[in-house]
Amino acid sequence: MSPRPPRIAPLYNPIWLTILPRERRARGAYQLCVMLLLLTVGWSQVIKGPTALSSLNYIPTGQAEMLAWCCVWAGGSGVASALIPERIIHVGRWQIDATWWRLVIEFAAHAMLIFVWAAWLVALLRTTPFLEGLGLGTGAALWLGVAAVVRCCQIGWTVKRALADHPSPAGIISQGQARNDQ
Amino acid sequence: MTSDWIRLLLLVPDSVSSRIMAAENETIPTLLTGGGFVFLAAIMGGLFLINKNASDGAAALARGSTELTEGVRQEIKEVKADRDEVKKQCSRCEARLNTVLRQLAKRDAVTNDLLEVLDKVVAPVLPEEQADAMHASVRALHTVLDREGFNGEV
């Protein structure tokens, strides 16, 4: 048995090692399961079409398919963003801060979801207008849309903190960071 | 489209809502197209941000490396100047040492000449006590010259 070759030391690449605040919000059970809901419902509608009592029966088939594919893309991106770790990953000799990619994909998913929930809401309102009552679907589409907007703002704030609020070299927690965290 | 939104937000009878449902409505595809554009724009914007961050990091590294290199160059220049100065002082000290060694050799040669003259010329014609005394005198003279720093030049 030949001796094992010496292990190549990982290439220290400080360009990719950035300081991003850790969030861990995408791993929340609610967010992850709503993404799974979108993914499963989207695939189901792509394969089987709208269910019998779905409001999507009252919009043209092409629009329903478009909405289903948007659900698949947004839900898949959301699940992916929950799976990407918030740390430096090693790809061969390279070290990449995956936090950036997680935030970008999660932001894209939520930005798309704002429109997806709005489209759901429009489809639902066509069968059940507001003044006829607020059903589960209408309420969910309305408030999950609000949640998507809030999440986009949160991610934007995180990126702003990482890019604009440079930490002071004078200490681990500088005065500026303390002020910005308030 | 505006009238559609108004109808959607109002309580309308079933007969009206069935007419609304039957009508062609471009709101949903418009929203979904917007969502698709926003998705792609967010991905592209994110790539831009990642690239910008990496570029800023690379620029900061390059700037720091340049400053470090310049500082090290300056240090090397100063150390070289110190080395040249020490070399010059060494040369001066060496020349002075050679001069002193030459002077000492001359002084020793004078003493040896005196002793040789004493041995070969004076001692044969003098009694032994006087010759020894003159020997001792010459050696004492050498000691005095040594103490006084005589450099051999007459």
Q: Tell me the pLDDT tens digit for each residue of B38-89.
A: 999 999 999 998 888 778 878 888 888 899 999 999 999 999 999 999 999 9
DSSP 8-state assignment for residue A97? E
- Cross-chain Cβ contact A104/B49 below 8 Å: yes
pLDDT at B76: 96
The pLDDT-based confidence of B7 (bands split at 50, 70, 90) is low
A vs B: CB pairs below 8 A: 117
Spans of chain A, pLDDT less than 50: 171, 181-182
pLDDT at B23: 52
Domain ranges of chain B: 2-148
Q: Is B50 in contact with A163 (Cβ distance < 8 A)? A: no
Do A74 and B49 count as a contact with CB atoms less than 8 A apart? no
| Model pLDDT, residue B11 | 54
What's at A13, amino acid-wise?
N
The pLDDT value given to residue A77: 97
- Percent of all residues in chain A with a pLDDT value above 90, rounded to a whole number: 49
CB contacts, 8 Å: A132 with chain B: 11
Distance from CA of A7 to the nearest CA of B (A): 27
Nearest-by-Cβ selection for A59 from B11, B28, B57: B28
Q: How far is A9 from chain B (nearest CA, A)?
A: 21
- Residue bearing the bigger pLDDT, B18 or B113: B113
Return the half-sphere exposure (C-beta side, CA atoms, 13 A cut-off) of residue A70.
Answer: 31
User: What does the mean pLDDT of chain B come to?
Assistant: 82
Give residue A182's pLDDT: 43
| CB pair distance less than 8 Å for A67 and B61 | no
Say yes or no: A98 contacts chain B, CB-CB below 8 A: no
Regarding predicted confidence, which is higher, A141 or B153? A141
A109/B46 Cβ within 8 A: no
Per-residue confidence band for B137, with pLDDT thresholds at 50, 70 and 90: confident
Residue A167: exposure state from Cβ atoms within 10 A (0-12, 13-18, ≥19):
middle
Q: What is the pLDDT of residue B44?
A: 95
Query: Mutation test of the interface with chain B: which of A112, A117, A131, choosing the one with the most B Cβ atoms within 10 A?
Result: A112
Binding-site residues on chain B for chain A (CB distance < 8 A): 7-12, 17, 20-21, 24-25, 27-29, 31-32, 34-36, 38-43, 45-47, 49-50, 52-54, 57-58, 61
Rounded Cα–Cα distance for residues A29 and A126 (Å): 31
Q: What is the ipTM of this complex?
A: 0.73
Of the candidates B20, B28, B40, the beta carbon closest to that of A63 is on B28
What are B76-126's pLDDT values in tens digits?
A: 999 999 999 999 999 999 999 999 899 888 888 888 888 888 888 887 888
* Alpha-carbon span B35 to B52, nearest angstrom: 25
pTM for this prediction: 0.64
Considering only CB atoms, A119 lies closest to which of B28, B52, B57, namely: B28
Would the CB atoms of B35 and A60 count as touching at under 8 Å?
A: no
CB A116 within 8 A of CB A35: no
A92 close to B (CB below 8 A): no
**What's the angle, vertex CA A130, arms to CA A126 and CA A134, rounded to 5?**
105
Is the CB of A63 inside 8 Å of chain B's CB atoms?
yes
pLDDT of the residue at B15: 54
Chain A residues close to B39, C-beta within 8 Å = 73-74, 77, 108-109, 111-112
Q: Closest-CA residue in chain A for B28?
A: A119
For residues A37 and A75, the answer to whether their CB atoms sit within 8 Å is: yes
Asked if B28 and A132 come within 8 Å (Cβ–Cβ), the reply is no
**Worst-scoring range by mean pLDDT, A86-95, B11-20, B84-93, B137-146?**
B11-20
